[in-house]
Amino acid sequence: MTLDPDSFRAVLGRFATGVTILTARDGSARDHGMTVSAFCAVSLDPPLVLACVDHAASMHELLLTVDRVGISILASGQEALSRRFAEPESDPFRGLGHARGDSGVVLFDDALAHLECLVRDRHPAGDHTIFVCEVERAVTRQDRPLLYYRGGYAQLER
């Protein structure tokens, strides 16, 4: 039995995920960023996370070459930020509040958490690449997370 892509997408849509923006700098010190919901923890010791990136994503080739990335875990009020980095835009960083991490990567203001990571491994997996990253620095703040569920944004009510 073969599972068709639309059915598989419908099943996966039932899994609520957090929303992140992954950032990196190229060799010319130009910032790049993309929305990533395929993100999770891998290990506590050493502290590892992973992000899965489609081969067709605009940042895919860059991520094959950079050593460091930033990850901003988005808070409930940052849906517009997520949408902005989910679509191609000539200068998506323009006018946005952010700081630079110790490694120079962009970390967005008001995010629920920030991680600065060293890219340790890259594994091809179907039409995506799995990027395994060691967390070198992490900070959190209190807020509710932005979630993605069944093809749309959602918020956690507690």
Per-residue pLDDT tens for 128-141? 999 999 999 999 99
Give me the chain's average pLDDT, please: 94
What residue ranges in the chain does DSSP mark as E strands? Answer: 17-18, 20-25, 31-36, 39-43, 48-54, 68-73, 98-100, 106-108, 113-125, 128-140, 146-149, 152-155
| pLDDT value for 102 | 95
Whether the CB-CB separation of 74 and 152 falls below 8 Å is answered with no
**Which among 154, 60, 44 has a CA at the least distance from the CA of 52?**
60
Q: Enter the CATH code of domain 5-151.
A: 2.30.110.10
pTM (predicted TM-score): 0.93
Per-residue pLDDT tens for 45-92? 999 999 999 999 999 999 999 999 999 999 999 999 999 999 987 789
| pLDDT value for 13 | 83
